[in-house]
Amino acid sequence: MTKSPIAWAALACFTLPVTAQEPPATEPEALPEVTVRATRRESPVGPVQGYVAKRSAAATKTDTPLTETPQAITVITSDAFEEQGALTAADIVRYTAGINSAYFDSRGDSFQSRGGNPTQYLDGLLRNSGSYNTTRPDPYTLERAEVLRGPSSVLYGQGGIGGVLNMVSKRPQKTAQRELQLQVGTNDRHQLATDLTGPLNDTGTLLYRLVAVGRESGTQVDYVPDDRLVIAPSLTWAPNSDTEINLQALYQEDKSGSLIGFFPWKGTLYPNPNGQIPFNTFSSEPGFDKYNTQQSAVAYQASHRINPTWTVRQNMRIADSKVDYYTMYTSFTAVPSASRPARPVFDTSNNRTVLRDVGIQLNSAKLSMLDTQGEARFSTGQVTHTLLLGLDTQHIKTEQRTGRGTTPAFDLYAPVYGSAFTVPAVTEQPPNTLRQTGVYVQDQLKFGQHWAATFGLRHDQAQNVTDALGNRAAAKIKSHANTKRAGLLYIADNGWTPYLSYSESFQPLTGTDIAGAPFKPQRGSQWEAGVKFQPLDSRMLYTLAVYDLYDENRKTAHPTDPTYSVQMGKVHVKGLELEARGPLNRQWDWIGSYAYTDAVVAESNTKIAIFDLNGTSIGSVAEKGTHLSGTPKHMASSWLTYGIPFGPGRFKVGAGARYIGTSTDGTDRNKVPAVTLIDAMVSYDTGDWRLALNVNNLADKLYLTTCLARGDCFLGQRRTAVATASYRF
């Protein structure tokens, strides 16, 4: 039997006194030095040093190693997105395989994954529902972000094929830590933030944390601010090792405006005699335009271990959000007398002026979520089980008042503001209420040391009610769904873990179509195979996933009135994702990814009207067989940093490249060019201070993020530079 160094040392301690009684004939051989280090087990919701987390609860709602999770999942640590200079949630995930987050919009953080939009969760509970009715998350308040790709409704209920983006809030820590941070940057950015945490009593059973952010800033678009106030206190009570209750509160106010002008193809994707529409063009009116959001929320996460087998948990959050949205943008309103189509186009006589639509939306959303879980860990013979039983409920009520109008001609190349226009009257829209209740069961089985399996089943009952208002009758649609999940993986001794899984999604959709009928729920199903590899002598984590999925009842723009939506038949998406992240050695850290995504409409009877650059109809194409808009076939990224000791601290320099491949407008006729964006950073960390400079889009590329068949394109974000000084005390 081979003994460990510790065993040899212990044996030597017992034998030395005996051998010491005899005078040694020769000089005794020195024993090798033995160092014993106690390592604290990583928490699936706690801080992680470096770029690689080993554990997560996002995919299973249990504390599970990433290498034993039979689904593609990426955990982005706060160390990673801090070094990359993330200013938004979209920035956090931009170096993640298969995630397209290049959209530039103040109204929300938009992502696309596997042909769908990941559903945003915060601490395991739904963060938002519907459009333009809540605030955007601030990276400074987050500990990590977890991207779970593909259908995931067995545990989460509401969600589509894009998967889940679960953001984990900073929680109170046992060790006192205090930070004050100052940022200054382009577009006159000034931000002050603080993060304070530690124990409130001598026994450490009561912990606190206070995170606050205050910002005044402009944007690359004239007259559009990016101001923010966030206050996020939290309190943890852990009277013993079996019980923990974490209380959270959040108050956030954002003040911004119209970054999106819905500019015509001519002047963005295609040439205009007057040139490219300037990226700083503001299409609305100063003093009128605004996109102001406010959110108040309270939440708790409670856990109690009843005995060595059973643990019960409950998570709750109640959020109340309001949005005041006043805007003007390139008109979608038809003017038959002037032969003007319902599309964003220039006046053909000058290719400079557009009509503008005036829009007012006063939106509100009230969300109440509760998730109760029971977890049992036990064995049956040679098989160990982690059994999860759960019941969750969601109650979401959205209200809206809207007003729409038009304005006279407006020159996008030489804007003149202050012209008289009529502010449209605001009309109350029918309130919408979504109630959903789900029960779920999951069993994670482990057969010996090498084989593991996961099985899950869920039943959902959902009711989508649109209240009666005026001459519109009430509309109610009830739906129910059973969703399934299964996965099998093999855990090899050399760090390789191949797996195979099947999963489904179910997503009730709020709103109504042009006839006032509620939308049917969206359904998805996916097969995925992959392999995860973590070398035994390294923290590097490599993953490969291939998948094949279908999505039914997806919403798309109405063919004749793009302000409404219709539901298409079925979408087929297949692809491959590669990712690597972690330390190459003590000096080098690396994140690399590649994704291939082929997303097409597999079933549809709809014809899509096609137009020339002036908005004249030139026929139609079948929607079936077309690729999904804004979904590049190829995406790749690489982020590399190098750090060395320098003086009393550590100097670090890093750079990254993001390649976003060609995408189409949804008809396969108009293609958005590929682009490669370069990011860079330099930092110096010494004692209590960290100084950093981050530059995104270093070459100041002018690029488009997406173009749509309805006739408009979206501009990308130009170069930004932000200097950060953090003082820890």
Would you state the pLDDT for residue 558?
Answer: 67
Token duo for residue 91: 């920035």
- C-beta of residue 219 within 8 angstroms of C-beta of residue 719: no
Cα-Cα end-to-end distance for the chain = 51
Would you state the pLDDT for residue 557?
Answer: 64
From CA 512, how far away is CA 526, in angstroms rounded? 27
- C-beta of residue 299 within 8 angstroms of C-beta of residue 125: yes
- C-beta of residue 679 within 8 angstroms of C-beta of residue 84: yes
Would you state the pLDDT for residue 509?
Answer: 73
**Is 208 in a helix, a strand, or coil?**
strand
Q: State pLDDT tens for residues 510-534.
A: 666 777 677 778 899 999 999 999 9
From CA 560, how far away is CA 573, in angstroms rounded? 26
Nearest to 599, CA basis, from 655, 549, 529: 549
**Is 154 in a helix, a strand, or coil?**
helix
Would you state the pLDDT for residue 605?
Answer: 82
**Residues of the chain where predicted confidence (pLDDT) is lower than 70:** 1-40, 510-512, 516, 557-563
**Is 337 in a helix, a strand, or coil?**
helix
Q: State pLDDT tens for residues 308-344.
A: 999 999 999 999 999 999 999 999 999 888 788 899 9
Q: Is the dihedral of CA 25, 27, 29, 34 positive or negative?
A: positive
From CA 656, how far away is CA 52, in angstroms rounded? 17
Nearest to 413, CA basis, from 338, 359, 354: 354
* Distance set, CA 679 to CA 94, 169, 719 (Å): 11, 26, 9
Which secondary structure element, helix H or strand E, spans residue 5, and what is its range? helix 5-19
From CA 196, how far away is CA 545, in angstroms rounded? 39
HEC readout, 641-692: EEEEEECCEEEEEEEEEEEECCEECCCCCCEECCEEEEEEEEEEEECCEEEE
Token duo for residue 83: 């070094």
DSSP state of 67: G
Would you state the pLDDT for residue 8?
Answer: 37
**Is 513 in a helix, a strand, or coil?**
coil
Would you state the pLDDT for residue 559?
Answer: 60
- C-beta of residue 632 within 8 angstroms of C-beta of residue 663: yes
From CA 126, how far away is CA 164, in angstroms rounded? 10
pTM of whole model > 0.85? yes
What fold does the segment set 55-728 form as a domain? Answer: Maltoporin; Chain A (2.40.170)
* Torsion angle defined by CA atoms of residues 330, 333, 338 and 339, in that order, rounded to the nearest 10 degrees: 100
From CA 532, how far away is CA 542, in angstroms rounded? 6
